[in-house]
């Protein structure tokens, strides 16, 4: 059965490449086909574990490092005023990515088998889920947190419900009183909390009642999918769909739904970044989106390889110390995408830098493979831990699903912003966990 899925996926993507004038004689085209073959094999592995970080890493390869760059290569598309890249640049980059996908997948296989022999603490949640609905103090506290987050988020939008529900365009009405750091704090910590509370309440209580309805309404309005950045939507709504649609936990259902959801929902959500009353909202397949700047992450890797941009760990230092204000650390590193854009004189600096490009910009070629091995270690450890603890822990699966949703943002980059947002979401989850575990 796995082979059928692999062959179907390979043939579907290959048919798209053929329509885009695939020339198998061309060395660059040939390396894209090799990447597609490897990705098709690895994507539909481990059918007993339908939802995993590993699978989303492979999905990231499918869209951002194979399909999108092939379309850009064939169309001679470059972003942000960059100089064009030669076939040699593409060839070197693809050979490195072939080694990366092999290293990641093989390392994951051996690490996963090793972690199966580890003993994880099976019951690290002390509260009784049946007592939760009778704990009035906890309910009151959770309501206060949810309503406070809704109020703060609404006030950041000048108390405009339309601005809250629609991210950009003529309805956007952000308060001028909120500074950059406070706005970031409200986005990656305050705004996600009501959804986390909603899902936590359901996982612990496992009942549809009036509290479930109220928490759900507050959470969805506060973090409405059309009013948030798409990575936030993925991080919050992937867990929501997994929790409420159990069929996604069977075989490759999650992978198939994700592929179609990405191809149809991604361009749909993008229209709300500049939404107006005259915007023509269409829901459908749109391969033109791969020619837009959202998919510049492959070219950011091309750029650091071509211009040999290496900082010997300085960018990574900024990632780990992201919480230090720039006012106290004027020399604090900026995001790697912006740093690279400045060195190469691009017209626009707020660009992405994919995870493997972060490895190179920190430690050169060695950094790419160190980052890849760490990603395999992180993926294998959490995937195995989820498998072993999901039946004995009510809230760990929720955090794990948040990681699954976040992995696209982390891999697309840059690492400075994605890591800060991920920590914010995780601290929010930890706060709710401590309240319920008190």
Where are the domains positioned within the chain?
129-281+414-437
Here the tokens at position 179 are 């500074």
Q: What is the pLDDT of residues 307-335, one digit of tens each?
A: 999 998 888 888 888 878 787 888 888 88
pLDDT at 249: 81
Yes or no: say if 228 and 167 are a contact pair by the CB < 8 Å rule: yes
Q: How far apart are the two ends of the chain, measured CA to CA in Å? A: 46
Q: Can you tell me the distance from the alpha carbon of 32 to that of 398, in angstroms, rounded to the nearest whole number?
A: 36
pTM of the model: 0.86
Yes or no: say if 418 and 354 are a contact pair by the CB < 8 Å rule: no
Task: Assign 51 a pLDDT band (cuts: 50, 70, 90).
Answer: confident
The answer, yes or no, to whether residue 136 has pLDDT greater than 80, is no
Q: What single-letter DSSP state applies at residue 122?
A: S
Mean pLDDT for the stretch of residues 281-306:
78
- Among 367, 347, 375, 348, residue whose Cα is nearest residue 301: 367
> How long is the chain?
438
Using CB atoms within 10 A of its CB, is residue 358 exposed (0-12), middle (13-18) or buried (19+)?
Answer: buried
**What are the φ and ψ backbone dihedral angles of 333, each rounded to 5 degrees?**
-60, 140
Using CB atoms within 10 A of its CB, is residue 236 exposed (0-12), middle (13-18) or buried (19+)?
Answer: buried
Q: What is the pLDDT of residues 204-226, one digit of tens each?
A: 777 788 888 899 899 888 888 77
pLDDT at 248: 83
141-177 burial, b at 16+ Cβ within 10 Å, e below that, comes to bbeebbeebbebbbebbeeeeebbbbbbbebbeeeee
Q: Cα dist. 368→98, 115, 298, 301, 409 in Å?
A: 12, 24, 14, 10, 18
The answer, yes or no, to whether residue 55 has pLDDT greater than 60, is yes
Highest mean pLDDT among 6-10, 29-33, 180-184, 325-329: 29-33
The answer, yes or no, to whether residue 278 has pLDDT greater than 60, is no
pLDDT at 181: 62
Within 10 angstroms of residue 38's Cβ, the number of other Cβ atoms is: 18
Is the torsion defined by CA of 219, 222, 227, 233 positive or negative?
negative
Q: Can you tell me the distance from the alpha carbon of 250 to that of 248, in angstroms, rounded to the nearest whole number?
A: 6
pLDDT averaged over every residue in the chain: 81
Angle at 146 between CA 145 and CA 151, to 5 degrees: 95
Q: What is the pLDDT of residues 86-117, one digit of tens each?
A: 899 999 999 999 999 999 999 999 999 888 77
Yes or no: say if 259 and 59 are a contact pair by the CB < 8 Å rule: yes
């Amino acid at each position: 059965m796995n082979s059928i899925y692999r062959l179907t996926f390979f043939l579907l993507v290959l048919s798209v490449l053929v329509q885009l004038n695939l020339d198998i004689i061309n060395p660059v085209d040939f390396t894209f086909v090799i990447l597609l073959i490897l990705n098709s094999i690895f994507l539909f592995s481990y059918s007993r574990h339908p939802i995993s970080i590993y699978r989303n890493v492979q999905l990231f390869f499918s869209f951002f490092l194979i399909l999108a760059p092939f379309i850009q290569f064939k169309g001679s598309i470059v972003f942000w005023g960059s100089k064009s890249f030669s076939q040699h640049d593409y060839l070197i980059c693809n050979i490195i990515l072939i080694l990366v996908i092999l290293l990641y997948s093989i390392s994951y296989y051996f690490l996963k088998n090793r972690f199966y022999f580890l003993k994880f603490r099976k019951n690290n949640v002390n509260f009784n889920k049946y007592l939760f609905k009778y704990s009035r103090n906890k309910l009151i506290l959770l309501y206060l947190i949810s309503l406070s987050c809704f109020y703060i988020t609404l006030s950041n939008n000048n108390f405009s419900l339309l601005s809250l529900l629609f991210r950009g365009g003529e309805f956007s009405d952000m308060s001028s009183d909120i500074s950059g750091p406070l706005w970031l704090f409200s986005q990656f910590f305050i705004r996600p909390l009501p959804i986390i509370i909603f899902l936590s309440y359901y996982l612990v209580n496992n009942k549809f009642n009036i509290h479930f309805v109220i928490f759900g309404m507050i959470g969805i309005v506060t973090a409405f999918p059309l009013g948030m950045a798409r990575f936030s939507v993925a991080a919050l709504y992937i867990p929501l769909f997994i929790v409420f649609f159990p069929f996604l936990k069977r075989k490759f259902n999650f992978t198939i739904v994700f592929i179609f959801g990405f191809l149809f929902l991604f361009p749909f959500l993008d229209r709300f970044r500049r939404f107006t009353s005259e915007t023509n909202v269409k829901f459908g397949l749109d391969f033109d989106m791969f020619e837009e700047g959202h998919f510049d992450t492959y070219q950011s890797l091309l750029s650091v390889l071509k211009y040999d941009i290496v900082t010997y760990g300085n960018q990574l230092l900024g990632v780990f110390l992201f919480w230090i204000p720039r006012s106290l650390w004027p020399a604090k590193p900026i995001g790697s995408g912006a740093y690279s854009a400045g060195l190469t004189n691009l017209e626009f600096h707020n660009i992405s830098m994919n995870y493997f490009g972060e490895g190179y910009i920190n430690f050169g070629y060695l950094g790419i493979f160190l980052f890849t091995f760490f990603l395999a270690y992180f993926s294998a450890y959490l995937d195995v831990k989820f498998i072993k603890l999901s039946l004995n822990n009510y809230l760990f699966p929720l955090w794990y699903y948040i990681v699954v949703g976040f992995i696209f943002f982390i891999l697309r980059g840059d690492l400075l912003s994605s890591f800060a947002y991920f920590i914010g979401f995780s601290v929010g989850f930890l706060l709710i966990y401590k309240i319920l575990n008190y």
